[in-house]
Amino acid sequence: MEIGLIGLGRMGLNMMKRLTQGGHRVTGWSPSGGKEEAVREAGGVYAESREALVAALPPPRVVWLMVPAGKAVDENLDYLLPLLTRGDLVVDGGNSNYRDSQRRAERLASAGLEFVDAGTSGGVWGLTVGYCLMVGGTAEAVARIEPVLKTLAPPDGYLHVGPVGAGHFAKMVHNGVEYGMLQAYGEGFEILQASGFNFDLRKIAHLWNQGSVVRSWLLELAERAFAENPTLDGVRGYVEDTGEGRWTVLEAIDHDVPAPVITLSLLQRFRSRQEDSFSAKVIAALRQQFGGHAMKTAE
Protein backbone atom coordinates (compact mmCIF):
# COMPACT_ATOMS: atom_id res chain seq x y z
CA MET A 1 0.00 0.00 0.00
CA GLU A 2 1.14 3.59 -0.65
CA ILE A 3 0.75 6.13 2.12
CA GLY A 4 1.93 9.63 2.96
CA LEU A 5 3.23 10.35 6.45
CA ILE A 6 3.44 13.89 7.84
CA GLY A 7 5.40 14.17 11.07
CA LEU A 8 8.68 12.29 11.42
CA GLY A 9 9.44 12.58 15.11
CA ARG A 10 10.32 9.66 17.37
CA MET A 11 7.06 7.83 16.72
CA GLY A 12 6.47 8.93 13.15
CA LEU A 13 9.87 7.85 11.89
CA ASN A 14 9.64 4.50 13.64
CA MET A 15 6.20 3.97 12.13
CA MET A 16 7.69 4.65 8.71
CA LYS A 17 10.39 2.03 9.35
CA ARG A 18 7.83 -0.57 10.44
CA LEU A 19 5.67 0.13 7.40
CA THR A 20 8.52 -0.07 4.89
CA GLN A 21 9.72 -3.28 6.53
CA GLY A 22 6.19 -4.58 5.96
CA GLY A 23 6.38 -3.84 2.24
CA HIS A 24 4.51 -0.53 2.09
CA ARG A 25 5.71 2.49 0.13
CA VAL A 26 5.83 5.48 2.46
CA THR A 27 6.42 9.07 1.40
CA GLY A 28 7.25 11.31 4.33
CA TRP A 29 7.47 15.03 5.06
CA SER A 30 8.71 16.64 8.26
CA PRO A 31 7.48 20.07 9.41
CA SER A 32 10.87 20.60 11.05
CA GLY A 33 12.86 19.60 7.97
CA GLY A 34 16.25 17.92 7.96
CA LYS A 35 14.96 14.35 7.82
CA GLU A 36 16.14 13.34 4.34
CA GLU A 37 18.85 10.96 5.49
CA ALA A 38 16.70 9.46 8.25
CA VAL A 39 13.90 8.80 5.77
CA ARG A 40 16.27 7.10 3.34
CA GLU A 41 17.65 4.94 6.14
CA ALA A 42 14.07 4.05 7.08
CA GLY A 43 13.38 2.89 3.54
CA GLY A 44 10.96 5.72 2.78
CA VAL A 45 10.74 8.43 0.15
CA TYR A 46 11.38 11.99 1.34
CA ALA A 47 9.09 14.76 0.08
CA GLU A 48 10.43 18.32 0.00
CA SER A 49 6.97 19.74 0.73
CA ARG A 50 3.39 18.76 1.41
CA GLU A 51 2.63 19.51 -2.25
CA ALA A 52 5.32 17.04 -3.29
CA LEU A 53 4.00 14.45 -0.84
CA VAL A 54 0.44 14.68 -2.18
CA ALA A 55 1.68 14.62 -5.79
CA ALA A 56 3.68 11.45 -5.11
CA LEU A 57 0.62 9.50 -3.95
CA PRO A 58 -1.79 7.83 -6.38
CA PRO A 59 -5.45 8.76 -5.78
CA PRO A 60 -7.44 7.94 -3.79
CA ARG A 61 -4.70 8.97 -1.37
CA VAL A 62 -4.09 8.16 2.27
CA VAL A 63 -2.23 10.77 4.33
CA TRP A 64 -1.39 9.93 7.96
CA LEU A 65 -0.65 12.79 10.37
CA MET A 66 1.71 12.20 13.31
CA VAL A 67 1.95 15.76 14.61
CA PRO A 68 1.21 17.29 18.04
CA ALA A 69 -2.45 17.63 18.97
CA GLY A 70 -4.18 20.95 18.52
CA LYS A 71 -2.96 23.76 16.30
CA ALA A 72 -0.52 21.62 14.29
CA VAL A 73 -3.28 19.27 13.13
CA ASP A 74 -5.53 22.10 11.96
CA GLU A 75 -2.64 23.89 10.23
CA ASN A 76 -1.83 20.75 8.25
CA LEU A 77 -5.46 20.22 7.33
CA ASP A 78 -5.70 23.85 6.19
CA TYR A 79 -2.73 23.25 3.91
CA LEU A 80 -3.83 19.83 2.66
CA LEU A 81 -7.46 20.61 1.84
CA PRO A 82 -6.76 22.46 -1.43
CA LEU A 83 -4.28 19.76 -2.48
CA LEU A 84 -6.41 16.67 -1.84
CA THR A 85 -9.20 15.43 -4.09
CA ARG A 86 -12.56 13.79 -3.47
CA GLY A 87 -12.16 10.31 -2.00
CA ASP A 88 -8.81 10.95 -0.32
CA LEU A 89 -8.47 9.94 3.33
CA VAL A 90 -6.69 11.64 6.23
CA VAL A 91 -5.71 9.76 9.39
CA ASP A 92 -4.87 11.59 12.61
CA GLY A 93 -2.64 9.29 14.66
CA GLY A 94 -1.78 11.84 17.34
CA ASN A 95 -3.32 12.47 20.75
CA SER A 96 -6.10 14.79 19.61
CA ASN A 97 -9.20 15.56 21.63
CA TYR A 98 -12.03 13.41 20.31
CA ARG A 99 -14.31 16.45 19.90
CA ASP A 100 -11.70 18.06 17.64
CA SER A 101 -11.62 14.85 15.60
CA GLN A 102 -15.39 14.95 15.16
CA ARG A 103 -15.20 18.59 14.06
CA ARG A 104 -12.39 17.85 11.60
CA ALA A 105 -14.25 14.88 10.13
CA GLU A 106 -17.26 17.10 9.39
CA ARG A 107 -15.03 19.69 7.75
CA LEU A 108 -13.33 17.11 5.53
CA ALA A 109 -16.62 15.40 4.67
CA SER A 110 -17.94 18.68 3.25
CA ALA A 111 -15.02 18.53 0.79
CA GLY A 112 -15.64 14.89 -0.10
CA LEU A 113 -12.73 13.65 2.03
CA GLU A 114 -12.70 10.86 4.60
CA PHE A 115 -11.24 11.07 8.10
CA VAL A 116 -10.08 8.43 10.58
CA ASP A 117 -8.89 9.06 14.13
CA ALA A 118 -6.34 6.49 15.26
CA GLY A 119 -5.34 6.59 18.91
CA THR A 120 -1.78 5.24 18.85
CA SER A 121 0.07 3.73 21.81
CA GLY A 122 3.52 2.20 21.80
CA GLY A 123 5.97 5.04 22.14
CA VAL A 124 9.57 4.45 21.12
CA TRP A 125 9.08 0.67 21.48
CA GLY A 126 6.44 0.47 18.77
CA LEU A 127 9.00 -0.22 16.04
CA THR A 128 9.96 -3.56 17.56
CA VAL A 129 6.82 -4.67 19.44
CA GLY A 130 4.15 -2.93 17.38
CA TYR A 131 1.61 -0.21 18.06
CA CYS A 132 -1.73 -0.56 19.81
CA LEU A 133 -4.25 1.26 17.60
CA MET A 134 -7.73 2.41 18.63
CA VAL A 135 -9.44 3.40 15.38
CA GLY A 136 -12.52 5.54 14.82
CA GLY A 137 -14.28 6.13 11.49
CA THR A 138 -16.64 4.55 9.01
CA ALA A 139 -16.28 0.85 8.32
CA GLU A 140 -15.34 1.65 4.71
CA ALA A 141 -12.61 4.12 5.68
CA VAL A 142 -11.09 1.78 8.24
CA ALA A 143 -11.15 -1.10 5.76
CA ARG A 144 -9.16 1.02 3.31
CA ILE A 145 -6.27 1.43 5.75
CA GLU A 146 -6.45 -2.07 7.22
CA PRO A 147 -3.24 -3.24 5.48
CA VAL A 148 -1.39 -0.42 7.23
CA LEU A 149 -3.04 -1.17 10.58
CA LYS A 150 -2.11 -4.85 10.32
CA THR A 151 1.53 -3.93 9.70
CA LEU A 152 1.78 -1.34 12.46
CA ALA A 153 0.06 -3.43 15.13
CA PRO A 154 1.04 -6.73 16.75
CA PRO A 155 -1.49 -9.58 16.53
CA ASP A 156 -4.87 -8.37 17.87
CA GLY A 157 -3.26 -4.95 18.33
CA TYR A 158 -5.77 -2.81 16.47
CA LEU A 159 -9.52 -2.43 16.73
CA HIS A 160 -12.20 -0.44 14.94
CA VAL A 161 -13.79 0.90 18.12
CA GLY A 162 -16.58 3.02 16.62
CA PRO A 163 -17.36 6.14 14.57
CA VAL A 164 -15.08 9.14 14.22
CA GLY A 165 -14.03 10.35 17.67
CA ALA A 166 -14.24 6.93 19.29
CA GLY A 167 -10.59 6.17 18.54
CA HIS A 168 -9.28 9.25 20.29
CA PHE A 169 -11.80 8.85 23.12
CA ALA A 170 -10.52 5.32 23.78
CA LYS A 171 -6.92 6.56 23.65
CA MET A 172 -7.79 9.39 26.05
CA VAL A 173 -9.13 6.96 28.64
CA HIS A 174 -6.18 4.62 27.98
CA ASN A 175 -3.82 7.45 28.94
CA GLY A 176 -5.91 8.31 31.99
CA VAL A 177 -5.54 4.73 33.19
CA GLU A 178 -1.81 4.99 32.47
CA TYR A 179 -1.62 8.05 34.76
CA GLY A 180 -3.08 6.05 37.63
CA MET A 181 -0.82 3.05 37.06
CA LEU A 182 2.31 5.18 36.91
CA GLN A 183 1.34 6.98 40.10
CA ALA A 184 0.72 3.71 41.96
CA TYR A 185 4.06 2.25 40.88
CA GLY A 186 5.84 5.49 41.75
CA GLU A 187 4.34 5.61 45.24
CA GLY A 188 5.04 1.92 45.85
CA PHE A 189 8.71 2.17 44.95
CA GLU A 190 9.07 5.31 47.06
CA ILE A 191 7.70 3.46 50.10
CA LEU A 192 10.15 0.62 49.45
CA GLN A 193 13.03 3.07 49.14
CA ALA A 194 12.06 4.84 52.38
CA SER A 195 11.61 1.62 54.38
CA GLY A 196 15.18 1.29 55.65
CA PHE A 197 15.44 -2.28 54.31
CA ASN A 198 17.83 -1.31 51.50
CA PHE A 199 15.74 -3.08 48.88
CA ASP A 200 17.21 -3.66 45.42
CA LEU A 201 14.44 -1.96 43.45
CA ARG A 202 15.51 -3.54 40.16
CA LYS A 203 15.19 -7.00 41.66
CA ILE A 204 11.85 -6.13 43.24
CA ALA A 205 10.53 -4.93 39.87
CA HIS A 206 11.77 -8.15 38.25
CA LEU A 207 10.26 -10.26 41.03
CA TRP A 208 6.85 -8.66 40.73
CA ASN A 209 6.74 -9.59 37.07
CA GLN A 210 7.03 -13.31 37.87
CA GLY A 211 3.39 -14.34 38.33
CA SER A 212 2.36 -11.38 40.48
CA VAL A 213 -1.05 -9.78 39.95
CA VAL A 214 0.72 -6.40 39.46
CA ARG A 215 3.01 -7.66 36.68
CA SER A 216 3.11 -5.44 33.58
CA TRP A 217 5.25 -3.99 30.82
CA LEU A 218 5.61 -0.87 32.98
CA LEU A 219 7.32 -3.01 35.61
CA GLU A 220 9.67 -4.33 32.94
CA LEU A 221 10.53 -0.72 32.14
CA ALA A 222 10.95 0.03 35.85
CA GLU A 223 13.44 -2.84 36.09
CA ARG A 224 15.29 -1.39 33.12
CA ALA A 225 15.29 2.12 34.63
CA PHE A 226 16.61 0.91 38.01
CA ALA A 227 19.28 -1.19 36.27
CA GLU A 228 20.52 1.95 34.50
CA ASN A 229 20.27 4.20 37.57
CA PRO A 230 19.50 2.34 40.85
CA THR A 231 18.71 5.48 42.88
CA LEU A 232 17.60 7.66 39.95
CA ASP A 233 20.37 10.11 40.73
CA GLY A 234 20.11 13.33 38.75
CA VAL A 235 16.49 12.70 37.75
CA ARG A 236 14.20 15.57 38.63
CA GLY A 237 10.71 14.55 39.71
CA TYR A 238 9.03 16.81 37.16
CA VAL A 239 6.17 15.04 35.39
CA GLU A 240 4.57 16.63 32.32
CA ASP A 241 1.15 15.81 30.90
CA THR A 242 0.01 16.07 27.30
CA GLY A 243 -3.70 16.64 27.89
CA GLU A 244 -5.33 13.21 27.82
CA GLY A 245 -5.41 12.86 31.62
CA ARG A 246 -7.13 16.24 31.94
CA TRP A 247 -9.66 15.35 29.27
CA THR A 248 -10.37 11.99 30.94
CA VAL A 249 -11.09 13.73 34.25
CA LEU A 250 -13.36 16.28 32.54
CA GLU A 251 -15.29 13.48 30.79
CA ALA A 252 -15.64 11.65 34.10
CA ILE A 253 -17.12 14.79 35.63
CA ASP A 254 -19.45 15.37 32.67
CA HIS A 255 -20.73 11.77 32.91
CA ASP A 256 -20.90 11.67 36.74
CA VAL A 257 -18.32 8.91 36.89
CA PRO A 258 -16.21 8.83 40.08
CA ALA A 259 -12.57 8.57 39.02
CA PRO A 260 -10.53 9.49 42.12
CA VAL A 261 -7.35 7.58 41.21
CA ILE A 262 -7.00 9.12 37.75
CA THR A 263 -7.95 12.56 39.08
CA LEU A 264 -5.44 12.48 41.93
CA SER A 265 -2.69 11.14 39.67
CA LEU A 266 -3.24 14.16 37.41
CA LEU A 267 -3.08 16.54 40.38
CA GLN A 268 0.14 14.89 41.54
CA ARG A 269 1.67 15.73 38.17
CA PHE A 270 0.80 19.38 38.78
CA ARG A 271 2.43 19.18 42.20
CA SER A 272 5.60 17.67 40.73
CA ARG A 273 6.23 20.86 38.78
CA GLN A 274 6.27 23.14 41.79
CA GLU A 275 9.61 23.96 43.38
CA ASP A 276 7.71 24.84 46.53
CA SER A 277 3.96 24.68 47.05
CA PHE A 278 2.33 27.95 48.11
CA SER A 279 -0.59 26.03 49.59
CA ALA A 280 1.88 24.11 51.78
CA LYS A 281 3.32 27.43 52.93
CA VAL A 282 -0.17 28.60 53.89
CA ILE A 283 -0.79 25.42 55.87
CA ALA A 284 2.56 25.75 57.67
CA ALA A 285 1.76 29.36 58.56
CA LEU A 286 -1.71 28.47 59.82
CA ARG A 287 -0.37 25.63 62.00
CA GLN A 288 2.07 28.11 63.53
CA GLN A 289 -0.78 30.56 64.13
CA PHE A 290 -3.24 28.21 65.83
CA GLY A 291 -0.90 25.72 67.43
CA GLY A 292 2.41 27.42 67.77
CA HIS A 293 4.02 24.78 65.61
CA ALA A 294 7.50 25.66 64.38
CA MET A 295 7.88 26.69 60.76
CA LYS A 296 10.87 25.78 58.64
CA THR A 297 12.27 28.83 56.91
CA ALA A 298 13.59 28.97 53.38
CA GLU A 299 17.35 28.75 53.06
Active site residues: 171, 178
* Strands of 89-92's sheet in order across: 45-46, 25-29, 2-6, 62-65, 89-92, 114-121, 132-136, 158-162
Tell me which residue of 118, 198, 204 sits closest to 165, measured CA to CA: 118
For 30, 35, 54, the CA distances from 51, given in Å and listed in that order, are 12, 17, 5
In sequence order, the 6+-apart residues with CB closer than 8 A to the CB of 185 are: 218, 219, 222
d(CA 120, CA 113): 22
